[in-house]
Copies of this chain bind each other. A is one copy, B any other.
């Protein structure tokens, strides 16, 4: 009733351990008849190769490491990404291990650990920075990884990214088209590349259309929603108040919506709200927000596929995916009711 090993099968079939190993690997040097016989016995005994032994011998762990933000995260961003990643890895024998991404201190610690003890064959991480230390380190070592988000390094590397610049441009066009002139964005921190893309896109497109664009440095997506709401209340009471708010994230959008209500302004009338959404929560809210959907499960899948190809040896030059944004801003229930 012990776990069967190659030796068990070797004894059962009268073959050598090496032969069994090769047979199971489908090595063409082993006669087809032998391979079939071995496969049959292995199947019957319920043989499963020992991962630890394979890993020790080959140096490959069949594990993919995912760096996980340890801070608070309010809507189901992570879950969707992980689910997508797992579905891409499903059936490949790879599993996902999680390591903490200590975002505010030595962000490359987890990466260094993986490089040191080879606990994974590849790495995935989000919230990529413009000159991300992890990207630099991993690229230098030629270690397979996929960043969720681009960098501005000259060296190409594998990435999967949502076209945030296009999203921001579309939002600007949408709002200016509705007659808005003072655009405010609650954006990611500027250290993150996608924060830069969003800033650039909104600023360029907005100004070209003659609008004023405002993007606070200090009030960003990682601030607690209460603080965002409080800041917005103050900001909206000044005479030069924005007439449109773009929120890159669902919770800040809810905060913005609350702030508007608090000071007696109406979304859709006094101020337009635009948000990126990853869950169907907005469909339940009567917040009068225009949203564009970002499919993070699909992103996770693409990341998984890309990483597998990178691990298989494809060069990083050819492994960059820029997901086009859905440029249609769907009004939520309230907006739909109001305008139709």
Interface residues of A (CB under 8 A from B): 3, 46, 48-53, 55-56, 61, 63, 68, 70, 72-80, 82-83, 86-87, 90, 95-100, 116-119, 224-226, 229, 251, 254-255, 257-258, 261, 279-281, 283-286, 333
- Residue from the list B3, B72, B75, B98 in contact with A75, Cβ < 8 A: B75
Contact B284 A226, beta carbon cutoff 8 Å? yes
Q: Give the 7 A-B CB pairs with smallest separation, nearest first.
A: A52-B55, A52-B56, A78-B79, A254-B284, A258-B284, A96-B98, A48-B117
Query: When A98-B98, A116-B48 are in contact, do A281 and B225 touch as well, CB less than 8 Å?
Result: yes
- Find chain B residues with CB under 8 A from A63 CB: 97
11 contacts across the A-B interface (CB closer than 8 A): A51-B117, A52-B56, A55-B55, A68-B83, A75-B75, A78-B78, A86-B98, A251-B281, A251-B284, A258-B284, A258-B333
Report the Cα distance A279→B51, complex, angstroms: 38
- Residue from the list B68, B76, B87, B95 in contact with A73, Cβ < 8 A: B76
Report the Cα distance A72→B148, complex, angstroms: 21
Cβ-closest chain B residue relative to A53:
B56
Contact A50 B56, beta carbon cutoff 8 Å? yes
- Residue from the list B48, B86, B229 in contact with A100, Cβ < 8 A: B86
- Find chain B residues with CB under 8 A from A100 CB: 86, 90
- Find chain B residues with CB under 8 A from A51 CB: 117, 119
**Most chain-B CB neighbours within 10 Å: which of A76, A118, A229?**
A76
Number of copies: 2
Report the Cα distance A279→B73, complex, angstroms: 9
Contact A225 B48, beta carbon cutoff 8 Å? no
- Find chain B residues with CB under 8 A from A116 CB: 3, 46, 48
Report the Cα distance A90→B261, complex, angstroms: 42
Contact A258 B286, beta carbon cutoff 8 Å? yes
Contact A284 B261, beta carbon cutoff 8 Å? no
- Residue from the list B46, B49, B83, B281 in contact with A254, Cβ < 8 A: B281
Contact B98 A82, beta carbon cutoff 8 Å? yes
Contact A225 B284, beta carbon cutoff 8 Å? yes
- Find chain B residues with CB under 8 A from A254 CB: 281, 284-285
Shortest A97–chain B CB gap in Å is: 5
- Find chain B residues with CB under 8 A from A86 CB: 68, 70, 98, 100
Q: A48-B116, A55-B55, A78-B79 are in contact. List 15 more A-B contacts (CB 8 A).
A: A48-B117, A49-B117, A50-B117, A52-B52, A52-B55, A52-B61, A68-B79, A70-B87, A74-B280, A75-B76, A78-B82, A79-B79, A86-B100, A96-B98, A98-B98
Query: When A63-B97, A98-B82 are in contact, do A284 and B229 touch as well, CB less than 8 Å?
Result: yes
- Find chain B residues with CB under 8 A from A78 CB: 76, 78-79, 82
- Find chain B residues with CB under 8 A from A261 CB: 286
Report the Cα distance A271→B258, complex, angstroms: 22
**Most chain-B CB neighbours within 10 Å: which of A46, A55, A79?**
A79
Query: When A56-B53, A225-B283, A285-B258 are in contact, do A70 and B83 touch as well, CB less than 8 Å?
Result: yes
- Find chain B residues with CB under 8 A from A226 CB: 280, 283-284
